[in-house]
Structure 1
């Protein structure tokens, strides 16, 4: 089988993988404008974010198994084409209900890039090479939800909400064309056989794989911290600490670089399991520091603790993804779907909780509980990792 070049694979698949989180956050600065345009309440407009998150989570459960059966290219190209049509629907929506429907379809179609990108990596790479690829992929996936609101805010200086969605349409169309030259990564003999029902029943052994599910939970708790941070940070930095939008953007950018640094460091470890252990221990320590800073700290203590926390998040994401998908290589599409579903489900469930009561205290509690859960769950994976470490040392 002729492969795509490594650079093409990284750039195209990395960009496609970021479409899910990018489409949820890119339009956040224009939510107030949407409320005025559709003459509706803020709560109904905020539902557009919830609908997109639901689409991203549920879409992966369907597209993942289909990519195991029909290959990676066709579902990926069709999902990007559907994303373009859904974006046109958003632009032409006459009222908020139609807009919500097309936002749901945007999420469902954007899920294709998220779930299939991990499956493609699992098709093409093994061992440390897979960990190295996932470290690069995690940089893109980690930066997208952090940088998207900043870029959306800058774009709103020159256009309105329609301009935001026009940019999304242009990106989707460009990716659809680029993916037409993608060479299939899953050979016909490696694809799932039987009817569609059998294909979806393949979820059962994946969900019964205890070690795999532990790695999935590590990512779910870690991404709960990420989405909670994204939801709370505008209010914490701008309203509580009084930072300007520009200063807040600088903090956002610095934290994005921290994720990048942690992801790049992952490939320097002798094994993915060692990177995960280091990341989980650091995540717990900095999670406790961040929680304390939110309760009784200054803006500097909050930012420095978040910077450290997100650095260790950068270690956790690629290492846990690598370890999880190595265990389910024969069902990579389904495994990637479970991984992505729980990540977005955890993020969607936890981020609204930051607004309950005192935001500083509720966010601090989420940071502490999730960082402790990451560490505890990572410890439970140790029993099966000793074999991998022994192989890495030989």
Structure 2
């Protein structure tokens, strides 16, 4: 394609766009213990703002994915970023926790554009091993968001309040709009869905009937369930239970993001995405038991952090490989397929997150991790018949 953007531009731009949705959750994590005091509410209601943002990220993809198949990738992406700016201003000027939760939902709906469309753009331009390699690199770039977000959020919380963090989110949205103005459309008009917009949504039906695609999606959903449980519980475990400062917590969170990046980059050393996902699944399951024992036995923060680092390396193997395998199954309906992939993973995360706050958080987080790892193993076994049991 003569008018295609350079691979480096695509890698950086799509990495930022796809990480923008998760950035919404990670950047304000250090403020969770502060928000309950600001709004004079409970920790569970503050966690609900995280849940509603994830639900928005999930549901938004179901609509934006098919729209991008119909109208191209660039316009829906820019419109979603405009809506994000409006929702961010709403969060800043919210008078109570209920308005804040509502605008967090809208933020999630808008942030879904970058998550779903970035995957569709990659599927437009690459296939097979090249697609798997690109997703491996993309996941590595995405890893920069969780490295920078909590650490930067924790640092900013030392010098400003939570509203300053949301103003920075607004500025990042504007910067992304500027960067995307140089993007060259990846889906030509001749390749777009020709039916009316209502018919475009009917394309979900054949995608849902693809059992192998669904199994790959469920692998990622269970894996992301672990990630979202960790995201929701980590500020309270590290800051409240272990007494770390917001800055120290941000550094721990950033170190764990490095682990995911290492796992993602390691995918390129495997012969196939299936082999990478198989290896990640086995390691993920074994180390999950170590994580649970460390949390339940109230091990030191150094031990917990060390085991989590190893655990998240295997998560890094699973995420890009399962994404590439899923989208390679549904190239003709990449927008719908990417939307379903994102919907189920973020919806699963939205359901899982508040469960960590039930009872003793160390115990509930351990149980959730083990159950999700069993789900990853089972669905991988269903998708790849020669999985090592």
1:141 shift after superposition: 3.4
2:188 counterpart of 1:187: yes
- Show the counterpart of 2:320: 318
Native 8 Å contact 1:143 1:259 kept in 2: no
| Aligned equivalent of 1:175 | 176
Change in 2 beyond 3 A, CA 1:179/1:33: same
The answer to whether structure 1 residue 28 and structure 2 residue 29 are counterparts is yes
Equivalent residue number for residue 90 of structure 2: 89
CA distance in 1, matches of 2:165, 2:254: 20
Structure 2: segments with no counterpart, 5+ residues: none
Assess if the C-alpha contact under 8 Å between 2:26 and 2:231 holds in 1: no
Equivalenced residue count is: 385
Q: TM-score with structure 2 length normalisation?
A: 0.93
The farther-off stretch of 369-378 and 326-335 is 369-378
How far 1:362 moved relative to its partner? 1.6
Any unmatched runs of 5+ in structure 1?
386-394
RMSD: 2.1
Rate the CA distance shift 1:355–1:97 in 2: closer, same or farther, 3 A: closer
Alignment of 1:164-313 (within 5 A): 164-296=165-297, 298-299=299-300, 300-313=302-315
Q: TM (normalized to structure 1)? A: 0.91
Measure, in 1, the Cα distance between the counterparts of 2:53 and 2:214. 25
Deviations 1:77-114 (A, max 9, x none): 11112212222233344444443332222111110000
Distance 1:165 1:184 in 2: 30
Secondary structure, in 3 states, of the residue corresponding to 2:194?
coil
TM superposition shift of 1:182: 0.6
Secondary structure at the aligned position of 1:356 is classed as: coil
2:153/2:250 contact within 8 Å kept: no
Q: Which residue of 2 aligns with 1:369?
A: 371
Q: 1:342-377 deviations in whole A, cap 9, x for unaligned?
A: 111111111222222222222111111111221121
- Where does residue 49 of structure 2 map in the other structure? 48
Contact preservation (8 Å) 2:28, 2:162: yes
Q: In 2, Cα distance between the equivalents of 1:298 and 1:36?
A: 29
Shift of 1:175: 0.7
Cα offset, 1:240, TM superposition: 3.6
CA distances 1:3-31 after superposition (whole Å, capped 9, x unpaired): 01111111111101111111123123334
Could you tell which deviates more after superposition, 255-264 or 45-54?
45-54
Matching residue of 2:140: 139
Q: Secondary structure at the match of 2:223?
A: helix
Deviation of 1:206 (Å): 0.7
* Higher deviation after alignment, 327-336 or 303-312: 303-312
Matched, 1:80 2:75: no
- Given that residues 211 and 384 in structure 1 are in contact (C-alpha distance below 8 angstroms), is that contact kept between their aligned partners in structure 2? no
Structure-to-structure mapping, 1:350-369, within 5 angstroms: 350-369=352-371
Q: Structure 1's 357 and 121: CA in aligned 2 closer, same or farther, altered over 3 A?
A: same
1:150 corresponds to: 151
TM-superposed CA distance for 1:142, in Å, is: 4.2
